[in-house]
Amino acid sequence: MARIKKGRLVNGILVLDKPTGITSNAALQKVKRLYKAQKAGHTGSLDPLATGVLPICLGEATKISHYLLDADKRYRAKCILGAVTTSGDSDGEVIDTKPVPNITKNQLLELLASFEGEQDQTPPMFSALKHNGRPLYEYAREGIVIERKPRKITLFEVTLLDFSITKDECVPDFIEIEVYCSKGTYIRTLCEDIGQSLGCGAYISALRRIDSGPFSLTQAISLEQLYAQFEPEQALDEAQQIQLDETLLPVDSAIKQFPVVALNKEQLEQIQHGMSIEFNDCDGDTKAHNYRLYYENTLIALAVLDNNNHLKPKRLLFL
């Protein structure tokens, strides 16, 4: 007997402004309960300390979530200079302190520019990456260090927003930076590397994601805003449910970079059966790899273009 799924069929993307103090999964579960959704998934973890853009995919949107996982991100971070913590952020215990050197704005700009470009970065122990089914931060809290392999990342831009080096023991020295980077980049590791380059150590005291792929803070809504309108534990009437669903962005808002192909009825039936369709609507110099397939303005599938000019369905949606 097939298992009956709990919840309702709701499809779309909520651009959540994640609050500090909770995990991304905890934020996901709150959203899933509020929308009473059958399926939900987030698109790239933010640490409990971090806030900002966390796209949450509901229903059919979960089928395209990996495109958001692979997307570039933009962050703003405040790095405290002169100390190192166990976790690389302000949640950890300070384990070393050193004096902050005298450094000018131009020297800071030169230092930050030196971090730009493709490079290898080793994920920190305090991260959600898993080893034998457990996140690394659980091992870290037990004092266990797991060997991690470096991975390729790209720092497209590291911009200095503000800094203060006063040598006043009552006022921590800091730099504030904005980082535009590829997927898989750990800003706490970058902050630690900056501190190491300065010879004084550093850790993150605040981190905010301002862009994730095509989504930005201007589109984001907080849990507080949602809860002010909709009680998560109460049943919503039809009008409230419609109003709640209007906070969601369409599924295809995450993949606007892919060209559109309109299908006729014959092509629709072929795609529905997993068959490829011939495609000769563009010349060889402008062909893309991924395409969005629509039938009567409804997103039907994502497809890839093969070497024989055929579109092969990769993911079926709303079918």
Q: Which residues are catalytic?
A: 47
Q: Which of 257, 115, 122, 140 is nearest to 184 (CA)?
A: 122
Please report, for residues 102, 155, 157, 177, 194, the alpha-carbon distance to residue 116 in angstroms, rounded to integers and kept in the order given.
23, 5, 6, 13, 12
Which two three-digit tokens encode residue 222?
Answer: 């907080």
Regarding beta strands 290-295 and 260-262, do their DSSP bridges make them parallel or antiparallel, or are they unpaired?
parallel
Q: Where are the alpha helices (DSSP H) in 121-251?
A: 136-141, 187-198, 223-229, 238-245
Helix axes 187-198, 105-114, angle to 10 degrees: 130
Helix axes 238-245, 24-35, angle to 10 degrees: 140
Q: Where are the alpha helices (DSSP H) in 8-84?
A: 24-35, 65-69
Regarding beta strands 174-181 and 130-131, do their DSSP bridges make them parallel or antiparallel, or are they unpaired?
unpaired
Q: Which of 85, 154, 74, 68 is nearest to 116 (CA)?
A: 154
Contacts of residue 13, Cβ cutoff 8 Å, sequence gap at least 6: 55, 56, 57, 58, 61, 215, 248, 249, 250, 251, 253, 254
- Say how far apart CA 84 and CA 189 lie, in whole Å: 12
CB 131 within 8 A of CB 94: no
